[in-house]
């Protein structure tokens, strides 16, 4: 696996943000001395890229970490093992809720998509095949990113995307030339994410165990009328119109943080407008999880929608099977 770490993808009013990109060996820019510590492709990139041109570049998974919108960091990546299954993975920083409430996070995610779309050839992945994924609060943001392509209030914000193709410097960097950015992704993966924060509240909202977390991301009290309005703006269901990419929704049957009903809520809304959506309940699965069963589901889904590979076979009836 090739690693490109600490790549600066934007600077803005809420901070400077980085990503790490990991590319599977089979399609990576090969180098015997590894990736430089500054995150840039090595000096051999041009010749190595010619070698990688002979094989299809892998799709990339944009990973958005969970952690109540204000904890953990981009290295909390439940899908990094997908590099062993033929996928590049990019993990990103974004604005924590204690720095700025929603929708500040969406500006960062949109800029991350812009950067990935521009620099696929630089790092050795196929920028035309992007899946967005996240767990818990990160899944909430990933879902919003997947359903909001074309939503101008989140996309017409001036972005400081470095013109440097390797994203090494964000300070005073001019904007890259991307006059008509395309924010669409080709697939979305929701790992135990909340969907409607308002509907998750009990009648006594102030007593809810996650009230402080919800107030952090929304910026207002859960008991206020403003919370309902803001949570609607932060609900993926608000933006679903039938143009969304295929969704994979995975929940654990023993999730004590986010009820699997949230995943069903999203699945039902997508199915109502004929968007392909697939939901799996992992037996015994807790909130946020890994393991071969999870990775198998993810690979089957991505192989089908991003690579056009059917992973099941149709058994043929043989004479010895006949009555």
**pLDDT tens across 241-280, in order?**
999 999 999 999 999 999 999 999 999 999 999 999 999 9
Over pLDDT 70: what percentage of the chain? Answer: 84
Q: Give the C-alpha separation, 208 to 117, whole Å.
A: 40
Task: Say how far apart CA 113 and CA 183 lie, in whole Å.
Answer: 6
3-state DSSP assignment of residue 9: strand
pLDDT over 60 at 38, yes or no: no
The CATH number of 2-196+243-321, from 3.40.50.1820, 3.50.50.60, 2.40.50.140, 3.40.50.300, is 3.40.50.1820
State how far Cα 193 lies from the chain centre: 12
> Is a pLDDT exceeding 50 seen at residue 43?
no
Q: Describe the chain by its helix, strand, coil percentages, rounded to 5.
A: 35, 15, 50
Q: Where are the domains of the chain?
A: 2-196+243-321, 197-234
Does residue 235 or residue 55 have the better pLDDT?
235
Contacts of 111 (CB under 8 A, 6+ apart): 9, 10, 12, 17, 159, 160, 161
Tokens 């204690």 correspond to 98
Q: Residue 103: is the preceding peptide bond cis (ω within 30°)?
A: yes
pLDDT band at 40, cuts 50/70/90? Answer: low
Query: Higher confidence at residue 202 or residue 170?
Result: 202
Q: What is the mean pLDDT of the chain?
A: 88
Predicted confidence band at 313 (pLDDT cuts at 50, 70, 90)?
confident
Residue whose C-alpha is closest to residue 73's, from 83, 60, 61, 64: 64
């Amino acid at each position: 696996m090739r690693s490109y770490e600490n790549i600066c993808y934007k600077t803005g009013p809420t901070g400077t943000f980085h990503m790490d990109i990991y590319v599977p060996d089979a399609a990576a820019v090969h180098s015997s001395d590894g990736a430089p510590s500054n995150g840039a492709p090595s000096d051999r990139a041009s010749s190595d890229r010619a070698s990688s041109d002979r094989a299809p570049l892998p799709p990339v998974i944009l990973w958005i970490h969970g952690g109540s919108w204000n904890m953990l960091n981009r290295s909390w990546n439940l899908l990094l093992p997908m590099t062993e299954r033929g996928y590049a993975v990019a993990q990103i920083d974004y604005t924590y809720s204690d720095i700025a409430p929603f929708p500040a996070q969406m500006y960062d995610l949109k800029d991350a998509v812009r950067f990935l779309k521009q620099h696929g050839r630089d790092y050795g992945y196929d920028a035309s095949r992007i899946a967005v994924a996240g767990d818990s609060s990160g899944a909430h943001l990933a879902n919003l990113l997947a359903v909001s392509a074309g939503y101008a209030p989140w996309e017409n914000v001036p972005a400081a995307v470095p013109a440097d193709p390797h994203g090494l410097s964000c300070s005073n960097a001019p904007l890259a030339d991307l006059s008509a950015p395309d924010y669409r992704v080709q697939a979305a993966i929701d790992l135990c994410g909340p969907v409607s924060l308002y509907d998750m509240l009990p009648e006594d909202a102030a007593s809810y165990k996650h009230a402080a977390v919800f107030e952090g991301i929304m910026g207002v009290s859960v008991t206020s009328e403003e919370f309902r309005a803001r949570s609607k703006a932060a609900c993926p269901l608000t933006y679903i119109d039938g143009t969304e990419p295929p969704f994979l929704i995975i929940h654990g049957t023993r999730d004590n943080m986010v009820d699997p009903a949230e995943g069903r809520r999203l699945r039902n809304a997508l199915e109502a407008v004929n968007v392909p959506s697939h939901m799996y309940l992992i037996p015994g699965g807790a909130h946020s999880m890994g393991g071969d069963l999870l990775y198998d589901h993810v690979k089957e889904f991505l192989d089908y929608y991003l690579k056009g590979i059917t992973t099941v076979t149709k058994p043929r009836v043989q004479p010895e099977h006949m009555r």
